[in-house]
Amino acid sequence: MRISQLKDTLKFSMKNNMRVFMSGPPGIGKTAIFNQACEELNAEYAEELGFIPDLDSKVDPPTCMDSVIFHPSISDPTEPKGLPFLSKEGETAEFIPYGHLDKLNKATRPVQVLLDDFPQATASVQASYMSLLDRFRDNEFVNFFIAGNRTQDFAGSNGVLEPIKSRMDSIINVETSLEDYIDYGRKTGMSTSIIAFLRFKPALLYSDKLTKDLVNTYCPRTITAVDSWLARGLEVSSTITRAEAKALLDGAKKNASSVKQSYSFEIIAGAVGEGWAIEYIAFERLRRTMPDLNKILANPEEVPVPEDPAVLFSLVGGLASRIVPEKKDKNLKKLMTSNFTNALTYIESIQKEFQVYFVKDVFAYFPENGLEKVPKFFEWSQHNQDVLI
């Protein structure tokens, strides 16, 4: 199941107290999507109570639903029962709930519980959670989810006891999806160069060649780490020429040595592996040869259209992110309409694939700006109905 489908599934499960086990390779977003589903559902509950989101002040919705995350892989078998404690008389003992367990026992509103990285827990710890799952089986407030890696993922998974699996209402295999990751990237402000690179090289979203060696492999989590380096000012540099960059992206490895000489290569390779780093730095070298985006938005007829696919992937993504200016003033609507019109004029001469990427990105970046009412877009959509289906 794709990540986007998983989020809707989790929200449905949370509303109906159904238990889901999320299984899949590390770094693809299982825990993150659980957190997102909780946040969205909490916002929906808040709206039902009359809360109106304030987009300008970004006021958080009131808490109508809680979520907690247990980490059984670093627990001992007694934790799901509580803390062993002597009575005042010292003649008997009982288990005193504490922390998350105490919160579950006292819940008076929905609480979504995630047992994260569960397969890494030992058999004795896994078995100790059976009683916890049974105790809250019919609880109106508490619902359980499990997330974990498979035995083939080099994640220290011990597998999962059959009685645990049978206590879940569904076991779902979570898959990576380029479209879902790009959608996540646009919403979180990811660098347009990384989004463009993944569109150009979609096979580099996730590597199934895992290893126990002390090197990283590329996956959504580690690619997001590269974006964090870039957001904090990492300069992607190398001494390769445009021709050498194209050769590297076409599979020639003889020019890779010049890429490896840059300090940025060491950092990126440490996040996602050498192969990904070499190709991304080569792509970035070509990306920097694209036309000035401001000139396109001002005078589209005067700017030549590049032919290199790597440049075009970067160009359409970069253009889309510039349609609505960051600084708002009284002429915002007029400038926004002008930018969108000129950008559409410019991209009309390139392949339909890139035009569609541009339009999708524009409405993903700026969903509530009325851009669908721009006359030029209406004209474009009339001529491109076949690719909009």
237 and 93 in a common domain: no
**Structural domain that includes position 15:** 3-173
127 and 220 in a common domain: no
168 and 190 in a common domain: no
Q: What band does 120 get if pLDDT is binned at 50, 70 and 90?
A: very high
Q: Do residues 43 and 169 make contact, with C-beta atoms less than 8 angstroms apart?
A: no
Q: Do residues 271 and 216 make contact, with C-beta atoms less than 8 angstroms apart?
A: yes
In whole angstroms, what is the distance from residue 32 CA to residue 6 CA? Answer: 11
Most confident of 203-212, 220-229, 300-309, 329-338: 220-229
Which of 260, 287, 314 is where one domain is finished?
Answer: 287
Which of 173, 200, 231 is where one domain is finished?
Answer: 173
> In the prediction, which pLDDT does 152 show?
85
Q: What band does 389 get if pLDDT is binned at 50, 70 and 90?
A: low
Q: Which two tokens stand for residue 265?
A: 């290569």
308 and 348 in a common domain: yes
- The yes-or-no verdict on residue 111 having pLDDT over 90 is yes
264 and 166 in a common domain: no
DSSP string of 67-136? EEEE-GGG--TTTTT-EEEE-TTSS-EEEEP-HHHHHHHT-SS-EEEEETTGGGS-HHHHHHHHHHHHHT
Average pLDDT of the chain, as a whole number: 90
267 and 149 in a common domain: no
279 and 301 in a common domain: no
> In the prediction, which pLDDT does 356 show?
93
DSSP class of residue 24 equals -
Q: Please write the tens of the pLDDT for every residue from 6-47.
A: 999 999 999 999 999 999 999 999 999 999 999 999 999 988
Q: Which two tokens stand for residue 41?
A: 């559902």
Cβ count within 10 A of residue 344? 22
Buried b / exposed e along 122-139 (16+ C-beta atoms within 10 A):
eeebbebbeebbeebeee
Q: Please write the tens of the pLDDT for every residue from 243-296.
A: 888 888 888 776 688 788 888 999 999 999 999 999 999 999 999 899 999 999
> In the prediction, which pLDDT does 200 show?
95
What is the total residue count of the chain? 389
| CATH number for position 116 | 3.40.50.300
Q: What band does 158 get if pLDDT is binned at 50, 70 and 90?
A: confident
332 and 268 in a common domain: no
320 and 220 in a common domain: no
Q: What band does 55 get if pLDDT is binned at 50, 70 and 90?
A: low
The alpha carbon of residue 168 and the mean position of all alpha carbons in its chain are separated, in whole angstroms, by 25
Strands 142-148 and 20-23: parallel
Average pLDDT of the segment spanning 302-309:
92
Burial zone of 13 (CB within 10 Å; 0-12 exposed, 13-18 middle, 19+ buried): buried
> Of 32-36, 152-156, 233-237, 344-348, which gets the smallest average pLDDT?
152-156
Q: What band does 298 get if pLDDT is binned at 50, 70 and 90?
A: very high
Q: Do residues 97 and 142 make contact, with C-beta atoms less than 8 angstroms apart?
A: no
270 and 139 in a common domain: no
88 and 215 in a common domain: no
Q: Please write the tens of the pLDDT for every residue from 214-243.
A: 899 999 999 999 999 999 999 998 888 888
Which of 173, 200, 223 is where one domain is finished?
Answer: 173
Q: Which two tokens stand for residue 52?
A: 């109106």
- The yes-or-no verdict on residue 387 having pLDDT over 70 is no
- The yes-or-no verdict on residue 56 having pLDDT over 60 is no
161 and 16 in a common domain: yes
> In the prediction, which pLDDT does 54 show?
64
Q: Do residues 219 and 206 make contact, with C-beta atoms less than 8 angstroms apart?
A: yes
Q: What band does 75 get if pLDDT is binned at 50, 70 and 90?
A: confident
Query: What's the total number of domains in the chain?
Result: 3
Average pLDDT of the segment spanning 134-143:
93
> In the prediction, which pLDDT does 301 show?
92
Average pLDDT of the segment spanning 38-60:
80
